[in-house]
Structure 1
Amino acid sequence: MGQDGAEGIWRHSAERELARYGEFRLTVVEPPFPAGADVLPDHDPVRAREVAEALGTVAGVLGEVSRIEAVERMPFGTRADLDLVGIGCWGGLTEINDPALAYPGGEFPLANLAEEVSRRHPAAVVIGSATVDQHATHHTQVIHHPDGTRLFASGWAGEGDWDLAGAPREIAVAFGVGADELEERGVDLDAEPGDLDWAGLARAALRSVSPLLRTGRTLSVFRVRRDGRTAGDLEETWID
């Protein structure tokens, strides 16, 4: 049994290897937006823990287990790694990495977190992306501009049945992303949802308010406690 006494909520052992790969990140940028900044403030581990404790996918924070470069990936190979959450806090820029955000089963925890953050920080830009690589890649994308322009997209790459709210072109206009930049990134706003480069659109939007370069930044990796429902969703997403 784990040190938090919650090992019984998991169906698979801590050593069970994950069957899938993916990405899961939500970024919050509060004004004044640091676009063009060469250097951001140092990482704040105290605030990072507060952010982790407030996540709906986290039942409790057991402790900070490491501090890694933001360009590195958290350990992600076994079921035990599903209890890890990475948080970076660099001034007005906050990054959340949590494998629970990628659940593709219809609950959309990434979108729920984006809505919660936007309610608490209405002047902030909120951009989130999650992928799960199975037989194909499942994408979930959320982009919130403080002027009220929003986008939510979720579905399988190459397929036509997507959950979609908002328009990519409206996002490009709100963030001032021009046609030349979109063409350079290979983002076709007229493409079908299953063929559109959502990650490219998100990077273009984020670049307009914040530096994309993550070299030199550090973030905290916390081991957290999950509740039974979140644990089940995590196992369904990454193992079953």
Structure 2
Amino acid sequence: MTDDEYWTYPPEQGLARYGEFRLTMVEPPYAAGAEELPEHDPGRAREFAAGLRTVAAVVDEEERIGATERMAFGTREDLGLVGVGCWGPVSEANDPALAFAGGTFPLAEQADELVERFPGAVVIGSATVDHPLTFHTHVFHHPSGARLFAAGWAGEEDWDVEGSPYEIAEAFGIPSGALAERGVQLGARPGDFAWEGLTRLALRSVGPLLRTGRELSVFRVRRTEGTAGDLEETWIDDGGAF
């Protein structure tokens, strides 16, 4: 069975928007002091991909790429690709279906699900969609219970926010000097906040950040009907979710 019947656009249809989408889970024991992580485990990566709420089934592993490379992302057909890296305690998913889709927040929903399935894990994710301003979604979960969710348009006032950057910085033990170096002002408005800086600092506190030399698997997946529709609305439709 394929999901071809769920798609409105043909495989060669070009995408109208660009974005980034990454969700990282780090299980204990954390590897903050390690210089590198174990090699990629493709079998565990396939299991992780199959467990994503945006994936109905994994069809095949298409290729393996460097963790610093970007998956193909230019046509509707590419919306059926999910990249997953599993390096010891770290599991990471790169999935365009995690991005904003018409008023829902699949990134936050997936993060919540992982927290329930993997008690004690750190879960951090970011997704952006550019059209023409950038729509952001960010999630941080620490095993202490500290949680931060934020979503909205860059530079705008009206953001959905649950939790506090102050609590996240404290939970992850991020020094004020490191925050300053990354330009992270914890009291800044969400629309002007340095989200990438806080994400990197939080991840660095539980494992090595260097991605050079790591591999990840790129899987062709089958989508559910709802996910296929959300993907087209987010990345292709003119005036759909935006």
TM-score (norm 1): 0.97
| Structure 1 contact 141–153 (Cα < 8 Å) conserved | yes
Q: What SS does structure 2 have at the residue aligned with 1:209? A: coil
**Which segment drifts farther, 105-114 or 75-84?**
105-114
Counterpart residue identity of residue 69, structure 2: E
Instruction: Map 1:208-227 onto structure 2 (within 5 A).
Output: 208-227=205-224
| Structure 2 contact 82–96 (Cα < 8 Å) conserved | yes
Q: What SS does structure 2 have at the residue aligned with 1:14? A: coil
2:188 alignment counterpart: 191
2:7 alignment counterpart: 10
Instruction: Map 1:63-212 onto structure 2 (within 5 A).
Output: 63-212=60-209
1:36 CA displacement: 2.6
1:31 alignment counterpart: 28
Structure 1 CA distance for aligned equivalents of residues 20 and 134 of structure 2: 11
Question: Are 1:228 and 2:225 matched, yes or no?
Answer: yes
1:46 alignment counterpart: 43
Structure 1 CA distance for aligned equivalents of residues 25 and 16 of structure 2: 30
TM-score (norm 2): 0.96
Q: What SS does structure 1 have at the residue aligned with 2:40? A: coil
1:22 alignment counterpart: 19
| Structure 1 contact 104–138 (Cα < 8 Å) conserved | no
1:8 CA displacement: 2.0
Structure 2 CA distance for aligned equivalents of residues 239 and 27 of structure 1: 26
1:35 CA displacement: 0.9
Counterpart residue identity of residue 15, structure 2: L
1:9 CA displacement: 1.0
Q: What SS does structure 2 have at the residue aligned with 1:41? A: coil
Where do 4+ consecutive residues of structure 1 move more than 3 Å?
A: none
Counterpart residue identity of residue 18, structure 2: Y
User: How many aligned positions are there?
Assistant: 237
1:64 CA displacement: 0.1
Percent pairwise identity: 65
Q: What SS does structure 2 have at the residue aligned with 1:62? A: strand
Give per-residue Cα distances to partners, 1:106-129, cap 9 Å, x unaligned.
221111111111111121110000
1:198 CA displacement: 1.1
1:227 CA displacement: 1.3
- Unpaired runs of 5+ residues, structure 1, are none
Structure 1 CA distance for aligned equivalents of residues 150 and 102 of structure 2: 14
1:49 CA displacement: 0.6
| Structure 2 contact 100–137 (Cα < 8 Å) conserved | no
1:238 alignment counterpart: 235
What is the RMSD of the two structures over their aligned residues, measured on CA atoms? 0.9
Counterpart residue identity of residue 51, structure 1: F
Q: What SS does structure 2 have at the residue aligned with 1:194? A: helix
